[in-house]
Chains A and B, each alone.
Chain A
Amino acid sequence: MRRFYTVAGVLLLLGLFSFIIPDGLIFSDLNPDIAQGVQDVDKVDLHDSETGFLSGAWAGVKQFVAYSGFANVTYKHLLMLLVGLLFIFLAIRYDYEPLLLIPIGVGILIGNIPFVQDAGLKLGIYEDGSVLNILYFGVTAGVYPPLIFLGLGAMTDFSSLMSNPKLMLLGAAAQVGIFLTFLGAMVLGFSPPEAGAIGIIGGADGPTAIFLSSKLANGVNMWNGETVSNLIGPIAIAAYSYMALVPIIQPPIMSLLTSKKERVIKMKPPRSVTRLEKILFPIIGLLLTAFISPSSLPLLGMLFFGNLLKESGVTRRLADTARNSMIDTVTILLGLTVGASTQADVFLTTDSIMIFGLGALSFMVATAGGITFAKVMNLFLPKDEKINPLVGAAGVSAVPDSARVVQNEGLKYDPTNHLLMHAMAPNVSGVIGSAVAAGILLSFLL
Chain B
Amino acid sequence: MISIILLAALGKFSFIVAFVGYLVVFFALVLLVIIFTNIPKLYHIQIRKKLRRKGKYIDRPEGCCMAISGETNAAIGLALFLYFNELHDHENMVMTIDKVSRRYSPWSSKIYGLTNYNFNRK
Contact = CB atoms under 8 A, between A and B. Distances in A.
Contacts of A285: 32
Contacts, number: 111
Contacts of A394: none
Interface in A174-197: 175-176, 178-180, 182-183, 186-187, 192, 195-196
A274 B25 CA distance: 27
B116 interface: no
Interface string A331-346: 0000000000000000
Contacts of A362: none
Interface in B44-99: 69-71, 73
A271 interface: yes
Nearest to A196: B17
A180 B36 contact: no
B70 A269 contact: yes
Nearest to A167: B33
B30 A172 contact: yes
A179 B21 contact: yes
A432 interface: yes
B32 A168 contact: yes
Given A186-B10, A192-B14, A436 B25 contact: yes
Given A186-B14, A280-B39, A440 B29 contact: no
A168 B10 contact: no
A444 B17 contact: yes
B105 interface: no
A286 to B, nearest CB: 11
Interface in A250-274: 268-272, 274
Interface residues of A, number: 46
A168 B25 CA distance: 11
Contacts of A271: 70
Nearest to B74: A269
Interface string A234-262: 00000000000000000000000000000
Binding site secondary structure of chain A: helix
B70 A270 contact: yes
Contact of B22 (A166, A179, A274, A281): A179
A172 B15 contact: no
Interface in A151-180: 161-162, 165-166, 168-169, 171-173, 175-176, 178-180
A444 to B, nearest CB: 5
B6 to A, nearest CB: 7
Contacts of B22: 175-176, 179, 437
Given A166-B33, A169-B33, A269-B69, A182 B17 contact: yes
Interface in A427-443: 429, 432-433, 436-437, 440-441
A141 interface: no
A161 B21 CA distance: 23
Interface of A: 161-162, 165-166, 168-169, 171-173, 175-176, 178-180, 182-183, 186-187, 192, 195-196, 268-272, 274, 276-277, 280-281, 284-285, 288-289, 292-293, 429, 432-433, 436-437, 440-441, 444-445
Interface of B: 6, 9-10, 13-15, 17-22, 24-33, 35-37, 39-40, 43, 69-71, 73
14 contacts: A168-B32, A168-B33, A169-B30, A173-B26, A180-B18, A183-B15, A187-B6, A268-B69, A272-B73, A274-B43, A289-B32, A429-B29, A436-B28, A437-B22
